[in-house]
Structure 1
Amino acid sequence: MAAKAGSGDTPRRWSQQVTEISHALDLEPGVFSLSDPREIARSLQRSAEHSRQRKAGAFQSAMSMLNFYVNRAGRKLPAERRRCLEAAKDELRAIYGRPRHQQG
């Protein structure tokens, strides 16, 4: 059952709750507001590698959380912020030795 807006202590948006208190990863506060894509990737790496609740590998868990945040922000995400987060995906790939996304 979905929480109603203004219903006390339950969050208004389930996506906000997932980002803040995910059972998949314990994210460092403010990770998605960092300005350096490498720092975002390193923070997600630390969270994924220290998590005991994740169901997939560290890389997949970190990338999934980053994709979740970008997808939930949707059109409201400013272009500059989106570029930073997309660059963080490439940094995350580099950290885990995965091929970087090719611009095309």
Structure 2
Amino acid sequence: MTKDKWSRDVTENSDSLDLEEEVFTKDDPHEIARSLKRSAEKSSRRKGSPLQSAMSMLTFYINRAGDNLSDDERDKLEQAKDELRALFDSDDE
């Protein structure tokens, strides 16, 4: 199984989230985080908490994309991690 097929199989058949189409290509880190939060909260396939599941998908995407991400794209996705934590923290208050 090639690397591309492996990552697609993980995304499609594991206990991963059903994500909004092209969520990781959005320009705004806050919008990426909001979309991931919505997906995590409505998913029945996740094993961990919504935050854990959303963060795992974001980290999985960053790792899978690897060197193909520009510095700007990587920075935007890292900012989305901070936004995601903030969105879930605001729910706890």
Task: Determine if the TM-score, normalized by the shorter chain, exceeds 0.5.
Answer: yes
Between Structure 1 and Structure 2, which shows a larger proportion of helix residues?
2
Aligned to 1:59: 51
Deviation at 1:24, TM superposition (A): 1.7
List alignment gaps of at least 5 residues for structure 1: 4-10, 99-104
In 2, Cα distance between the equivalents of 1:12 and 1:96? 31
- Per the alignment, residue 81 of structure 2 pairs with 89
Aligned residues: 89
Percent identity over the alignment is: 55
TM-score (norm 2): 0.86
Structure 1 residue 15, shift from structure 2 partner: 1.2
The Cα of 1:14 is off from its aligned counterpart by: 1.7
**Equivalent AA in structure 1 for residue 75 of structure 2:** R
* Unmatched runs of 5 consecutive residues or more in structure 2: none
Aligned residue for 1:29, secondary structure, equals coil
For the residues of structure 2 that align with 1:17 and 1:85, how far apart are their CA atoms? 22
